[in-house]
């Protein structure tokens, strides 16, 4: 019984981390039509930056905030000075975002070395909490809570503010959004920074669970892609539901059928693409 409970919690925690990653990926793709293949690298870079910040400021939450900001800054510069010039050039975008992902991966290897570096769990959350006779790792519960809070904040931003409505207008009909004076160029930068910040902060919050290690980027990017395809590109709710579905599928897949983990992971995605090409929550795009 303890196995199922713990794996469930692990699934939720992975789902939460995936949501931080996939929400930004999905928003960026929905608005800008760019499949940002650097997104996994932003996650890993966040984790490594967190390692360095924690040496100076031993507070994981502050580190996640600062690391998120640092990655947001990098993302913003990347968008303004490079991606911006490649509007409509899909192959160029794929190559540039993939290229930057490799560059970041190499630089991380040079700066932080090749050994996995675990990020310390905040002291207050180190000991498990007992609920109904089961021991829960407290930190994982908090990760789920942070993901939930982030999801609610993003939902409010998108659905209840003028900025969010402008972003959705851009997703609906980019050209018309520009023709009514919506500063689409600024929205691109805002959304790209926001997505990068979430990825970077996610890397740091995931650090105590997953550590920072070379290849973390390549492990996370496909998961984010699967989440977004499953949930529907550009849909926040889709990213949310998709993240937790994949969190469960991946965690239980690895635990129960380790040799078939990827089959279990990719099969639902292939089925969804075949029968619901826009994903569970995707909608037709103009």
Contacts with another protein by CB under 8 A lie at 162, 165-166, 168-169, 171-173, 175-185, 283
First to last CA, the chain: 49
We find the least distance from the C-beta atom of residue 104 to another protein, in angstroms, to be 31
Q: Which is nearer to another protein, 143 or 169 (CB)?
A: 169
- Closest to another protein by CB, 33 vs 178, is 178
For residue 193, the tally of other CB atoms under 10 A from its CB is 23
User: Measured from the CB atom, is 74 or 83 closer to another protein?
Assistant: 83
In 3D space, the residue among 198, 285, 233, 190 whose CA is nearest the CA of residue 34 turns out to be: 233
Based on CB atoms, which residue is closest to another protein, 55 or 162? 162
Task: Write b or e for each residue in 257-270: b if 16 or more Cβ atoms lie within 10 A of its Cβ, otherwise e.
Answer: eeeebeeebeebbe
Nearest alpha-carbon partner for 27 in 143, 160, 164: 164
Q: How buried is residue 159: exposed, middle or buried, by Cβ count under 10 Å (0-12/13-18/19+)?
A: exposed
Task: Specify the 3-state DSSP secondary structure of 255.
Answer: helix
Identity of the residue, 44 or 166, whose beta carbon is nearer to another protein in the bound complex: 166
Residues 27, 159 contacting (CB under 8 angstroms): no
3-state secondary structure of 134: strand
Residue 191 CA to residue 197 CA, distance in Å, equals 10
Distance CA 233, CA 97 (A): 18
CB of 182 to another protein, least distance (A): 6
Nearer to another protein, 170 or 203 (CB): 170
Minimum distance from CB of 46 to another protein (Å)?
A: 31
The residue among 138 and 157 lying less far from another protein, judged by its C-beta, is 157
Residues 6+ apart with CB under 8 A from 41: 100, 101, 102, 104, 105, 217, 221
Quote the CA–CA distance of 238 and 126 in Å, as a whole number: 32
Minimum Å gap between C-beta 33 and another protein is 16
The C-alpha atoms of residue 198 and residue 210 are separated, in whole angstroms, by: 17
């Amino acid at each position: 019984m303890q196995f199922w409970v713990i794996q469930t919690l692990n699934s939720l925690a992975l789902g939460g981390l995936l949501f931080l990653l996939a929400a930004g990926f999905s928003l960026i793709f929905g608005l800008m039509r760019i499949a940002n293949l650097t997104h996994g690298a932003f996650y890993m870079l966040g984790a490594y930056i967190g390692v360095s910040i924690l040496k100076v400021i031993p507070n994981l939450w502050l580190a996640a905030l600062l690391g998120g900001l640092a990655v947001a800054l990098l993302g913003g510069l990347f968008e303004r000075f490079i991606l911006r010039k490649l509007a409509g050039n899909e192959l160029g975008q794929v190559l540039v975002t993939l290229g930057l992902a490799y560059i970041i991966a190499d630089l991380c290897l040079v700066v932080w070395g090749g050994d996995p570096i675990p990020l310390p769990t905040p002291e207050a959350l180190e000991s498990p909490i007992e609920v109904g006779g089961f021991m829960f790792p407290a930190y994982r519960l908090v990760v789920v809570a942070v993901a939930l809070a982030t999801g609610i904040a993003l939902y409010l931003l998108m659905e209840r503010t003028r900025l969010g409505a402008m972003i959705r207008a851009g997703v609906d009909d980019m050209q018309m959004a520009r023709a009514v004076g919506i500063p689409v160029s600024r929205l691109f930068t805002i959304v790209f920074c926001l997505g990068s910040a979430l990825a970077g902060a996610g890397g740091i919050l995931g650090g105590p669970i997953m550590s920072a290690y070379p290849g973390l980027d390549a492990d996370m990017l496909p998961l984010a892609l699967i989440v977004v395809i499953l949930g529907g590109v550009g849909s926040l709710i889709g990213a949310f539901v998709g993240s937790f579905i994949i969190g469960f599928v991946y965690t239980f897949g690895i635990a129960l059928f380790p040799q078939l983990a990827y089959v279990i992971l990719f099969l639902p995605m292939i089925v969804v693409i075949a029968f619901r090409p826009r994903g569970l929550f995707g909608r037709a795009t103009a």
